[in-house]
Amino acid sequence: MKQLQHFLTLVVTITLLFIGLGLSSKVKADDSLTTSAQVKAIQKAGVLKVGVKQDVPNFGYYNAETNNYEGMEIDVAKKLAKSLGVKVEFTAVTAQTREALIDNGQLDVIIATYTITPERQKNYSFSDPYYTDEIGFLVNKSSQISKISDLNNQTVGIAQGSSTKGALEEYASAHKLTFNYVQLGSYPELAVSLYAKRIDAFSVDKSILSGYVSNKTEILDEGFNTQEYGIATKKSNTELTAYINEQLAQWKSDGSLQKIYSKYDLKPATSQTN
């Protein structure tokens, strides 16, 4: 009997030892990211400087009535800052300005509907995707445009500096269509141009378009080019990106990222929606 008790005690001791080693190695892995020079620099400054959109309802939107930024990406930025133990500072960016503000050091990261592309990855360090979307079209209901092919030889409005035009040109070539383009500086300008019928469609990611739907407009059911949004920083900030990826993995695992989607009634696209 005593031999059995000694054996069981030995088994429990060895098991606890391996568990302890596993936990300690995990802590070391976490510590290596938390104590990296890039992360510590942000913690020393006491603030995470984030570039966000101010004109994209549900993602990044500046509410003039409350003087606050709102949206899914704003919540992600706040959550990231909280994990670092610092305050968050928002700067409004556009497709034309976001890269320059990273380059000159005014921002630590961009969380601004920034699509991950091979070309952009040559110049910036991107996190794993935090949202997946697809390109769509907002049209006037009175136009009777019901499918993408109805836009052949029509004028499509797009944002300056976005990746939308390249994707549209590829789609048009593959489907033997011709689009004319009008490029404007902001999404509100594009929405106003659509309402005024100066353009036939406003094209960008569907979730962005969802913030501009009115009783006179609708988003076409058809979409294409599934794309992923990432948190971007300087190309050299690989340790910061690794830390962000660790946080994103945790938020996906514990369901907190899904809660943010649900808060804004957002449903990420999948390859099946193309």
Domain assignments of the chain as residue spans, ordered by start: 33-130+230-265, 134-226
Enter the CATH code of domain 33-130+230-265.
3.40.190.10
Residue 21's contacts (CB-CB under 8 Å, 6 or more residues apart) are none
Q: Which CATH architecture has domain 134-226?
A: 3-Layer(aba) Sandwich (3.40)
Q: Name the token pair of 134.
A: 């697809």
Q: Long-range contacts: 164-169, Cβ < 8 Å, 24+?
A: 164/135, 164/203, 164/204, 167/135, 167/224, 167/225, 167/227, 168/135, 168/203
- 103 has pLDDT over 80: yes
Helix (H, G, I), strand (E, B) or coil at 154: strand
Residue 106's contacts (CB-CB under 8 Å, 6 or more residues apart) are 49, 91
| Rounded Cα–Cα distance for residues 106 and 98 (Å) | 10
Please check whether the two domains, 33-130+230-265 and 134-226, share a CATH topology: yes
Encode pLDDT of 216-259 as tens digits.
Answer: 999 998 999 988 999 999 999 999 999 999 999 999 999 999 99
| Per-residue DSSP letter, 115 | B
Q: So what's the pLDDT on residue 162? A: 82
Helix (H) or strand (E) holding 224: strand 224-229
Q: So what's the pLDDT on residue 11? A: 45
Return the bridge partners of 183, or none: 158
Encode pLDDT of 177-224 as tens digits.
Answer: 999 999 999 999 999 999 999 999 999 999 889 889 999 999 998 999
Q: What is the mean pLDDT of the chain?
A: 88
Residue 106 vs residue 24, higher pLDDT: 106
The overall pTM is greater than 0.85: no
